[in-house]
Amino acid sequence: MMTSGTTASAARKQLRQIIDGDACVFPASVHDPISVRIAEELGFEMGMFAGSVASLTVLGAPDVILLTLSEFADQARRITRGCGLPVFCDADHGYGNALNVKRTVEELETAGVAGLSIEDTDLPIQHGSNGKASLLSIEEGVGKIRAAVAARQDQNLVIAGRTGAASMTDSDDATRRLVAYEQAGADILFTVGIKTPEQLQTLSSATSLPLFLGGLPVDMMDREELARHRVRIALQGHQPFAAAVQAIYDTLAALRSGTMPADLERVASKETMARLMRRDRVDSDIDDFLS
């Protein structure tokens, strides 16, 4: 199923309803057309395509900005074309400066995503940093958010201003940055690294936009409590991809050790596979156009 402009617009409106609502949702971590169809079938409100998962899926590499924009956008397109679920993606630092951010938004909007985040981490990690990332100036971060907002053609495309300052510097810096990104035109504020309810309260009190959180401790993952602080989206992590890797590893190991295919456990049934690959639609097209 190809994602049309109408389908992409509808998905963006669904995401807008989430961030304009009063509940907190946990997105499904997705990485390909089958995973997003599973998420849609199970009733998830939205999907999340993370940069780290993209790097693993496309390159089998860690999340150190080895993936290119075109590779990321191509995989995002494969995901969105396979479903009607809103898909939010982590566009990292926008693949360069503010002008590159404009190009990133153009490509990802064309790929059919419902929303994306631009972060203020100085990426890729610089020589001499001993592998530790640092933050851009607030001014440069603001420039990137302004560029992202200016680049979109569909005003329903959700732009998130993102910072990791809560874990890289301190809560006060995180607050200053997110206030600035709110003023720059972001639709939602995305922060990672909050570890205490007090930090969340400080951030919520200083801003007025909906909040998007990642990296929360388990004891803060109460949806109702998060919703009371204007958190509309909270990430649970990207375990589905890791689970898929383990399943493939175990299956190949079993086959290598002599297990017969018919004796393998926890293999999707033919009915499940047919449903997720939309076999009935393909068969209908065969009847209509090839008979």
For the record, the structure tokens of 194 come out as: 């909050």
Q: Given the structure tokens 């496309």, which residue do they identify?
A: 58
Taking 50 as the threshold, does the pLDDT of residue 32 lie above it? yes
Name the residue among 200, 7, 26, 208 with its Cα closest to residue 111.
Answer: 7
Contact 166, 215 (CB under 8 A): no
pTM score of the predicted model: 0.95
pLDDT for residue 2 is more than 70 = no
Lowest mean pLDDT among 5-19, 90-104, 121-135, 248-262: 121-135
The residues spanned by each domain of the chain are 5-238, 244-289
Q: Quick check: 7 pLDDT over 90?
A: no
Query: Cα–Cα distance between 52 and 92 in angstroms, integer?
Result: 9
CA 77 – CA 55 distance, rounded (Å)? 15
Mean pLDDT in the chain?
Answer: 95
Helical ranges in the chain per DSSP H? 5-19, 33-41, 51-59, 69-80, 98-110, 138-151, 165-168, 171-183, 197-206, 223-228, 239-256, 270-276, 279-289
Average pLDDT over residues 81-93: 95
SS3 assignment, position 86: coil
**Whole-number percent of the chain with pLDDT over 90:** 93
For range 273-289, the mean pLDDT:
95
Peptide bond between residue 124 and the one before it cis (omega within 30 degrees of 0): yes
Query: What pLDDT is stored for residue 82 in this prediction?
Result: 80
What is the phi/psi pair of residue 181, to 5°? Answer: -75, -30
Q: What is the pLDDT of residues 157-201, one digit of tens each?
A: 999 999 999 999 999 999 999 999 999 999 999 999 999 999 999
What is the pLDDT at residue 130? 78
Q: With bands split at pLDDT 50, 70 and 90, how would you rate the model's confidence at 5?
A: low
Looking from the CA of 211 toward its CB, the CA atoms found within 13 Å total 30
Specify whether the CB–CB gap between 28 and 44 falls below 8 A. Answer: yes
**Angle between helix 171-183 and 138-151 (nearest 10):** 30
- Cβ neighbours of residue 242 closer than 8 Å, sequence gap 6 or more: none
**DSSP sequence for 10-78:** HHHHHHHHHHTSS--B-PEE--SHHHHHHHHHTT-S-EEE-HHHHHHHHHS--SSS-S-HHHHHHHHHH
The model's confidence at residue 128, banded by pLDDT at 50, 70 and 90, is: confident
Bridge partner list, 87: 47
Whether the predicted pLDDT of 96 surpasses 50: yes
Query: 45 pLDDT exceeds 70?
Result: yes
Specify the CATH number of the domain 5-238: 3.20.20.60
